[in-house]
Structure 1
């Protein structure tokens, strides 16, 4: 899987670099992805996910099990 968050589904976006003389060249805005291990106490195992920084904050707020359940319902995650 390339530069895609496994929880939120965030992908690279495209836009323009705009110079002082208003020349426009194409560029990509990449999501802030981190490879992170999470412990699942229900299954007694560790999983490694490629998640964005905002997804890490969501996991810290709501808990890994509820976030994984919602991501599986949306079809974002295959674990």
Structure 2
């Protein structure tokens, strides 16, 4: 089994957000749960650049897709 290429901390840093565990947990607590029908990249708290990055990485099934999926699950829980 391959390990993920990117961690949640790496994703938050890539998005220009604080990337330590406490900051990530705080972000998720502040923004979850997203409604069932809302795609992650459409959430209102992303900047246009952040939303574009999330959308493109998922569509391309890029290296970031796995950790973006994890964030999606956490924000919809």
TM-score using structure 2 length: 0.27
Structure number with the bigger relative contact order (C-alpha 8 A, sep ≥ 6) is 2
Determine which structure has the larger strand proportion and give its number: 1
Determine which structure has the larger helix proportion and give its number: 2
Which has more radius of gyration? 1
